[in-house]
C-alpha cells in the first residue's frame, strides 16, 4: 500500500506596491539600467514600506490562500515560515501570521535557510502530511530583503527585492511531493553572510557604522556553487526517479540572477520555455522566489505535471524537490 502524498492544493502570493527600478538605482549608486539588466536580468523590484514587516506580507498571502482554497483558518494545523527577515529575533513570524489570519488552532515555526528556505520548509511540512499527523499545513516563503540590503553597495542592492508566497499542503493519493535532495555547507559563510546581528557579533554602534548587519556577497564563488549545486541536485532527483528531460513539465529555479538561471538550464539541457522565470520585475526575493514563481504560473499548471523546484542560498544551502501537480490551476488562479 503506497503512502499518501503531500500535495500543493493552493498557492498565493503578495508583493508590495512600491517599485525600485534600475533608473532609481542609477541615482543611488554608480550603475545603469543596461549594466544591471545585462548582468542580472532584473529591471525592477518591489520594496515594502518600513514598519510593516514580514508578517504583513504573510497575512496578505495566506489570507488569499485560505480564500482561494475555501479553507477555514481554524482548520489549519501548522504554519511553517521560511525567512531570514522575520518581524523579530523572536517570536517567530509563523506565529504572527497565524494570529493575523485567525489560525488559532495552528502552531508554527520559522526556518532560516536563506534562498533555500522554501525548499527546506516544504520538505519539512510534507512529513506532517505523509505521516497523517496533520491534514492542513501552510508553507510560507518570503523576505523583506530591503531591511538588510546595503544601498551603497551596487553588487547587492541591484539584486534583491521584497515579496512572499504561500502554499497549502494536503494529503493526496495520486499527486504530491515525491522526492527531495537537500544539502548544506557551512563554509559558505565566507562568501554570503550578514556578519553582525547574531549572538556571535551582536548589533552595536560599531557594527552599524561598518554596515556589517547588512548582506555581504562575494559573487564569483557564489555563482559557481549555485550553478553546481542546483544542477547536481536536479540530476540526482531525476536519476532516482527515472525521469528524462522530456518527462519534466517545469523546472522552477531560484530567481537569483538570470545568468545563473540560464547556466543551470543549459547544464541540464532544459529549454527556457520549460523554466519558470519572473526575475525581471521582482528581482531576488530570497525565500519568496519559488512560491511566487508557482503562483505566477499557476494558470498553466495541470494535474500530473512533473515539476522540479531547485534553489541555492547563503550558508551555503541548496537542493531540489520533485513533485507532481495536483489540480487544474486555470480553475483556481
Alpha-carbon 290 to chain mean position: 4
**With b meaning 16 or more CB within 10 Å and e meaning fewer, what string describes 206-231?**
ebeeeebbbbbbeeeebbebbbebbb
Among the listed residues 123, 172, 213, 254, the single catalytic one is 254
For residue 30, the number of C-alpha atoms closer than 13 Å in the C-beta half-sphere is: 0
Quick one: 15 exposed, middle or buried, by C-beta within 10 A (0-12, 13-18, 19+)? buried
Stated length of the chain:
333
DSSP-derived secondary structure letter, 277 = -
Q: What share of the chain is helix, strand, coil (3-state, %, to 5)?
A: 40, 25, 35
Q: Retrieve residue 122's grid coordinates.
A: 516544504
- Helix pair angle (117-130, 289-297), 10° resolution: 70
Q: How far apart are CA 211 and CA 80, in angstroms?
A: 30
Q: How far apart are CA 40 and CA 56, in angstroms?
A: 28
Among the listed residues 81, 115, 157, 293, the single catalytic one is 115
Q: Is 284 a catalytic residue?
A: yes
Among the listed residues 22, 257, 278, 284, the single catalytic one is 284
Q: Is 213 a catalytic residue?
A: no
Q: H/E element holding 235?
A: helix 219-240
Residues tagged active-site: 115, 254, 284
Amino acid at each position: 500500500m503506497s503512502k499518501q502524498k503531500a500535495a500543493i492544493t493552493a498557492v498565493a502570493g503578495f508583493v508590495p506596491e512600491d517599485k525600485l527600478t534600475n533608473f532609481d538605482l542609477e541615482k543611488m549608486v554608480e550603475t545603469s539600467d543596461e549594466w544591471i539588466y545585462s548582468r542580472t536580468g532584473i529591471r525592477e523590484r518591489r520594496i515594502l514600506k518600513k514598519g510593516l514587516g514580514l508578517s504583513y506580507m504573510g497575512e496578505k498571502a495566506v489570507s488569499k490562500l485560505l480564500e482561494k482554497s475555501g479553507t477555514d483558518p481554524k482548520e489549519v494545523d501548522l504554519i511553517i515560515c521560511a525567512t531570514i527577515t522575520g518581524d523579530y529575533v523572536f517570536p517567530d513570524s509563523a506565529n504572527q501570521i497565524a494570529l493575523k489570519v485567525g489560525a488559532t488552532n495552528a502552531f508554527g515555526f520559522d526556518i532560516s535557510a536563506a534562498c533555500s528556505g522554501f525548499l527546506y520548509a516544504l520538505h519539512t511540512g510534507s512529513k506532517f502530511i505523509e505521516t497523517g499527523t496533520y491534514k492542513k499545513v501552510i508553507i510560507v516563503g518570503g523576505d523583506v530583503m530591503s531591511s538588510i540590503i546595503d544601498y551603497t553597495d551596487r553588487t547587492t542592492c541591484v539584486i534583491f527585492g521584497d515579496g512572499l508566497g504561500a502554499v497549502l499542503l494536503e494529503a493526496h493519493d495520486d499527486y504530491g511531493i515525491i522526492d527531495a535532495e537537500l544539502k548544506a555547507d557551512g563554509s559558505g559563510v565566507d562568501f554570503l553572510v550578514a556578519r553582525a546581528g547574531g549572538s556571535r557579533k551582536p548589533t552595536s554602534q560599531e557594527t552599524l557604522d561598518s554596515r556589517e548587519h547588512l548582506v555581504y556577497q562575494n559573487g564569483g564563488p557564489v555563482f559557481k556553487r549555485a550553478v553546481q549545486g542546483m544542477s547536481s541536485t536536479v540530476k540526482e532527483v531525476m536519476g532516482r526517479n527515472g525521469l528524462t528531460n522530456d518527462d519534466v513539465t517545469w523546472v522552477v529555479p531560484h530567481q537569483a540572477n538570470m545568468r545563473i538561471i540560464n547556466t543551470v538550464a543549459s547544464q541540464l539541457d532544459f529549454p527556457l520555455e520549460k523554466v519558470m522565470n519572473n526575475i525581471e520585475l521582482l528581482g531576488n526575493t530570497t525565500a519568496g522566489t519559488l512560491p511566487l514563481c508557482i503562483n505566477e504560473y499557476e494558470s498553466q499548471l495541470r494535474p500530473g505535471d512533473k515539476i522540479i523546484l531547485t534553489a541555492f542560498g547563503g550558508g551555503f544551502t541548496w537542493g531540489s524537490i520533485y513533485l507532481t501537480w495536483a489540480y487544474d490551476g486555470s480553475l483556481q488562479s
